[in-house]
Each structure stands twice: as structure tokens, then as C-alpha cells.
Structure 1
């Protein structure tokens, strides 16, 4: 019976062996750290494969193709996932998916800089068979794309069969921009636009907002994945981007913040990025040392400190505590002011024969942002703890300013 009991106790001890506990702690810490990292960066890890009309989408209505094409041809494209990137001098291509998208901050940030806004056109639904693909179910109501820049820029959007006939570009535009028109062709009319590419009826396909470097492309099929599947359209798309890059910047930025794919600001993420990463690592090292100390003692145990310490510091602390408990802090302003006056007399060589008022005027002549006599009066009149503290701090700053 004793042997059975002893054997059972031995097996129980092995379950809670130090190695087992250490492994559980390590696994738990790794899991906790992983959950923190995922919580901080999960919003930024969105792949954009949501079949939307943006630069991360490989759907027919997306623009991942033109991004890859621009990269392959040395145009140095990048995807903007933060509003701070709007301040770049590079051409920024914005692809809002609906007229209800708030463009106010974007337009203000891009004022005076080359900007291409592509209007939405298609109504799509996600493809059930292939992730990231879409099925086109029709076109948006014409008022939807017309509202992208409303009410600042009023445009009227129309659609009509194009028959694939060639578009008409201004004389200084590349010849490739006279590519065949998409079917159906989405165009616009507006007195606020300078026509750069038009259809055979003179309706604007690409226009420049008067008095700005903002360009509006009415038909997204000239840039999206579906549109550039043909060689002539792909060449025209690249030439179109170069043509509207009026500032001459060599880079192209495709914005996805307006599509809801921007990076989120997170205080947790700051802990894992420079310069706060060093502080995080230091905290982790300190916690590791604390954990190690909890397991293994370093040296002999220290005796507990005295409740009341020896020396001048303890005397000052005890006196301050008594004054604080008595609620008399606000009555010490005059005495502190007198102490500062005596120190100032010694430091600045104030003649001994001068009275306190004369000494205050003498110290006022030292110059500075504040007058010594005013600070002395504020400290002497202080009756509340907060007022006294503010007056004392002001006197201390005055003394530091004059002795530096």
C-alpha cells in the first residue's frame, strides 16, 4: 500500500516537473507575443484581394495589373496605405469606388500636385468560384460617378455604345492615347474641365480641372486589369500616366486609403517600431530578469529598510509630511520668497545696506522675462497649495535663469 502511494506521488511530481512548467511558460509567452503582434499589424496585412476597384485587386475591375506593368517598365510605382503619403510630389492615382467616398482631405492634400482620379463604372459581385475575382452585373447609376468630386467640380456622366472606335487626344498628347474606346464608353461633360481625350461626339474621357493639376479619367477601363489586357491599351495606359504627371516626378503612387485599405494608427504598433522598439526590448529584458530572480535568488536576502531613515533627507521628508498633513503649504510662500531673496543677495552681490524692497528693485534691474519683485509678491500672497507651488516654481526658474 505504501509502495503504491509513493509511486503515485512520484508520477504526480513528474507532471509538474520544472521542465514541464518552463515549456508551458515559454509556449504561453510565445503565444501572447504572437497575439500582440497580430493585433498590432493585422489591419496592415490586408492583401486587398476583396475584388474591389483598387491597386491591390487582381479582379477585372482592379488595378494591380497597371501597378505591375509600371514596375516592370521602371516607373517606380508604390501603393499608399496612409494619408501622410498624399503629400508626395509623385503622381497619385486615386480610384474611389463610389461617389459617396469623402474626397475632401485628399483633394486638399493634393492641391497643386499631379493627381489622377479615376471614376467608378461597374457594379460587381464576388465570384463564388475564384477568390479575388468578380462578376460584372452592370454599370453604376450615372449619378454615382458624377458625385465623386461634387459639389466642387460638377460633371455629367453618360454612357453610350462606342463601337470600339478610336478616341481623340489633344495634339501634344502621345499618339497611343488615341486607342480604341471601351465598350460601353463612359464619358463626361463639364464646363470645369479642359478636354484632353474625347470621344467622337466631343465628350470628355480624360479632362483636367481648370486651374489645377487634377485630372479626371471618366472610363476606368482604360487603366484597369480588364482594359489593359490588350497590348495597345497597355501602352496607352502607361503613356496616359506619364502624360498627366505634370510635375515631372519619376514615381507613381496608387492610393488605397480611399478604398478602406489604409494603415490604422495603433499605440500598440508603436511599441514594435523604432524608436520605441528599443524601449520595448529593454522592458522585455527587465521582465526576463525579474522572472529569473523569482526562480533563483541572487545573493543573500536583504533586510527590510527602516521605516524612518537616518539623515537630513529623512528629516526634511518628515517635516514636509507634517506641514502637508497640517494643510499649511499655502502659508510658506513668504518664507520661501525670503529664502530666495537672501540667496540672491549673496549670489549677485546686493549691497548689505539695502532694505528688502530696495534689494527687490536691485534684482529687478538684472533684466529677464519676469520681475523679481513680482515673483516675490506672488509668493507672499499665496494662500493655497497650488498657488504657492506655482510661485515657488517661478522663483526657482528665475534663479536658474540668472545663474546659468
Structure 2
């Protein structure tokens, strides 16, 4: 049972690490998926257009941004949601349209098209398309109830929309999603589109709001097709203005904007339980997982491989010393060399006596010499006899006969017992 417990603990730790690495959501997964907008951000920055992303902990003022891009999400059913870890305001999309008029801020609303399964599976097919009825419900909610939507039945559609007369661009869209031109209200006009429908429209009731029907023109998947990337850069430049230097605001949170930028954001900052989750989000989850694995391996090596720790260090030393002496004696007996074993016995016995008198550092030849000098001051004749016997056993014990060896050992035992060692 003692051996199985560490193994079970190690398995549990590894399972927890695996869950932390592969099951817990990572904030940047959706952003870098086929349906995310990381490619748009990098592409605009490469074209010299600064981009800032939404952050639930940072308040943004309308005066510091030139264009607000808001990807619309479906509130019900399985659809593309904002990034994990970001809390979406219930009225986020609606307020962004209203705020475009309140702050005279150009705002691009991108309609949804794909379900979230496309982001995880990496396969864009007809089964991954959002129902047009759900998208029309979102249009009703933000104030565009008169707009109709169409979706092409072809696989890949090509078009040549002209945002500017001198910029012919070829775009490609899978199952192109457009606004129905026949049902387009008189207050709305088409800015770019295909032969059968409008892609980008602008309505008078929300003077600064623009609607893009197909998100594949701005997401990671779609920008890799045809000249969609060039269309995205031209679209952003057109909406924000050619001479504009303020950054583009990519809003995936939907929090309301401030009329003025706060002087000190730290004063209004409130910490919540969601802040603690950031310490376990990717890539910090990898670091925590590595630390847990290292700790589990160290625990296993200490508890299972080498056994439990011994309590007393002195007892360990004595046990090790006794085991070493017994092993040496066994080897000498097996080799038939009792004389050498007797010599080592005498040497070790004298070293132990020297340590008893002069301390732990005296267990060597110098300590033994000092021991005989001390004995000579008390009993010179006895000390000389003991020294001669011990020297004979140590130096010539291995060549003595069994009878001589026993006789010298008996003499050594009697002399050592008759001499008073005294105290330190």
C-alpha cells in the first residue's frame, strides 16, 4: 500500500495538469482560430494603421479612436461567441450602434455567419452556417428590422466590389452572405457588393454606423482568399478617413465607451474573482503544470524510490559502519585470510579507543600513537608490550599460523584489559 499511494498521487497530478493544459479555455484560442480577427489586426498594423483591442479592465473614450469594429454574435443557439474570459454586455451591440450617433464615431458592425463548431473543427461547410432567421433577429434587436439577407447556394463566389473607382479588387467568399437589394430600404445605400447583393451598407437613421453582411472579408479564414486582405485594408481606410492617425478599436467585449478618457483608471478599478483566473490562463497554465510535474517527480523519488527518511542521523552512521565492518569480515573469511581480518580488527579497536580519549578526529595513526604515549606515562612496560603485540598482529597477522594468531590475540586482549585508559 505504501508503494502504491505515491503512484496514485502522481497519476492524479498528471490528470490535473492535462486538464489545465487542454481542457481549460485559453483566451487567445478563438482570436487565432479561422473565425478570429488576429489576422486583421496584424494586417492593419503592417499597413501602418494602429489597432487596439478591447479589454474589460480598460475604459476607452470615443475621442481616442478613429473607427470601432464590432463583430456581432448570436445571443441564442450555438454561434461564434466573444473570446473566452471576456464578459459581454447584454446590450453591447445595440449600444455600439447608438453610440456611433452619440459620439459621431464611425462604427462597423459585422454580422455573424458561422457557428462556433467551425472554429474548433477547422472545417467550413454548409452545416456550420448560422440560420438566417437568427441573424435577422439580431438585426431587429439593433434597429435594422427592414433589412433582408440572402445566402448564395454556390461553393465559392467571386466578385469585384469597388470601394473606390480606382481600386478594382477581386474577392472570394464561400456561400456568400449578402443583403437583399430588392428589400433594401430607401434610407440605406450600398457601398460595396456583388452582382446579386450588397456586402456593405449605410443607413441614414444611424448616420455613422455601417453594416458588413459577410464576416469572411475580415476574419482569419476569409482574408487568406483572393484579395480579401486588400479589401479589408481599403474598407478600414475608407471608414476611418485617409488622414486619420488615431487607432482602430477592435471591440469584442461590447462595453460602453466613455465620453472622455478617465484621468486615473486605477481609482475606478475593481478586482473580482475573474482576475484570479488570469493567473491560470495560457501560457501561465503551462508553467503551473510544469511545476506540478516537477514536484510530483521529486515526491515520487523521495517517497517511493528511496523509501521513508530515517529519524536519527547518528543511528544511520552506526548502522552503516557496522554493516561495512560485517561485509569486510565476511569477505576476509570467505577468502580464508583470518590473519588480515585480525589485524584490521586490532587497528580499528585501537582507533576507537583513541577516539574515546581524544575525540572523533583522533581515529587515525596519529591518534593511536598518541594513545600509546599516554599509556606509557601510566605503565611503560605494559604499554610497550601492548604496542608490540598490536604491531605484530597488524603487520604480520596474515602470515602467522592459526595457533600463533590465537596466542597473540589472547595476549592483546589481556594486556588491553589490564591497562587503565583513564578519562579525557
Which structure is higher in RCO with an 8 Å CA cutoff and minimum separation 6? Answer: 2
Larger radius of gyration: 2
Give TM-score scaled by structure 1 length: 0.46
